[in-house]
Amino acid sequence: MKIALLGGTGDIGTGFAVRWAANHEIIIGSRKADKAKEAATAVMQMLDGKGNVWGTDNGSAVAAADVVVLCVPYEHLVSVTSDLLASYSNQLVISPVVPMSYNGKFFQFVPPKEGSAAMQIRSLLPEGIKIVSAFHTICAAALQAKDRELKADAFLCTDDPEALETVSRLALEIKSLRPLNAGPLAVSAIVESLTPMLLNVARKNKIKDAGIKIVSER
């Protein structure tokens, strides 16, 4: 597949690029095409030249892709989504976006009026675009360490079974990561709100590159 990483010059975008470049064409998007090209070169170096990673502006990245991952901070989600509407046709959109704030002491979930970043994206994108809310509790630093096994689970929310299958397969390409169906897009707020909880726990208990795993006690 062709996977566009919007704002893919940042932390989580770099992580997805190094994990998915073995099996997919990776298009790093940026507000500035030159910055995207530099980021693509850096990712190719991390991969010892193996893979097909290139960079362009965010709009061209969307237009060229089958799958679009919104790798931008929540504050810029509306502008990045609205400004690029003309570039969308029938891509599958993945949102790892967490609307949260930090007051210097702790993180808090600060959802928009739609209830979650995913539901806000749903309200902005055309109905035909499938959306999967996923990867909110996956640490970018752990993703970027391309050979590291992730012991965590990835929680996926979507209304579309086929999209769930596609993104589950992408999650399985990340060593030892387990994709779990977390329900429809309407409950994405629950999953998104796990991130500030995870970051608070990690800070208070000095846990590096923290993740979340569901265990069965049977």
Of 11 and 162, CB closest to ligand NAP: 11
**Stretch near ligand NAP under the rule CB under 6 A, chosen from 8-16, 155-163, 166-174, 197-205:** 8-16
CB 92 within 8 A of CB 67: yes
Size of the site for ligand NAP (CB under 6 A): 24
CB 17 within 8 A of CB 26: yes
CB 67 within 8 A of CB 2: yes
User: Given candidates 3, 4, 5, 12, which one binds ligand NAP under the rule CB under 6 A?
Assistant: 12
Residue with the CB atom nearest ligand NAP in the bound state? 10
User: Given candidates 18, 139, 150, 156, which one binds ligand NAP under the rule CB under 6 A?
Assistant: 139
Both tokens of residue 19? 């994990």
CB 91 within 8 A of CB 68: yes
CB 43 within 8 A of CB 20: no
**Stretch near ligand NAP under the rule CB under 6 A, chosen from 43-51, 96-104, 154-162, 183-191:** 96-104
Quote the DSSP letter at residue 175. Answer: T
Pairwise CA distance, residues 26 & 34, whole Å: 16
User: Given candidates 71, 154, 156, 163, which one binds ligand NAP under the rule CB under 6 A?
Assistant: 71
Is residue 10 close enough to count as binding ligand NAP by CB under 6 A? yes
3-state secondary structure of 211: coil
Is residue 19 close enough to count as binding ligand NAP by CB under 6 A? no
Of 71 and 170, CB closest to ligand NAP: 71
**Stretch near ligand NAP under the rule CB under 6 A, chosen from 72-80, 103-111, 122-130, 197-205:** 72-80
| 69 exposure class (CB count in 10 Å sphere: 0-12, 13-18, 19+) | buried
Is residue 185 close enough to count as binding ligand NAP by CB under 6 A? no
Is residue 148 close enough to count as binding ligand NAP by CB under 6 A? no
Around Cβ 145, how many Cβ atoms within 10 Å?
15
Minimum CB separation from ligand NAP for residue 57, in Å? 9
User: Given candidates 17, 63, 84, 140, which one binds ligand NAP under the rule CB under 6 A?
Assistant: 140
Q: Which whole-number Å values give the CA distances from 202 to 84, 92, 107, 192, in the listed order?
A: 35, 32, 11, 16
CB 146 within 8 A of CB 173: no
Q: List contacts with ligand NAP (CB under 6 A).
A: 7, 9-13, 30-31, 35, 71-74, 76, 79-80, 96-98, 135-136, 138-140
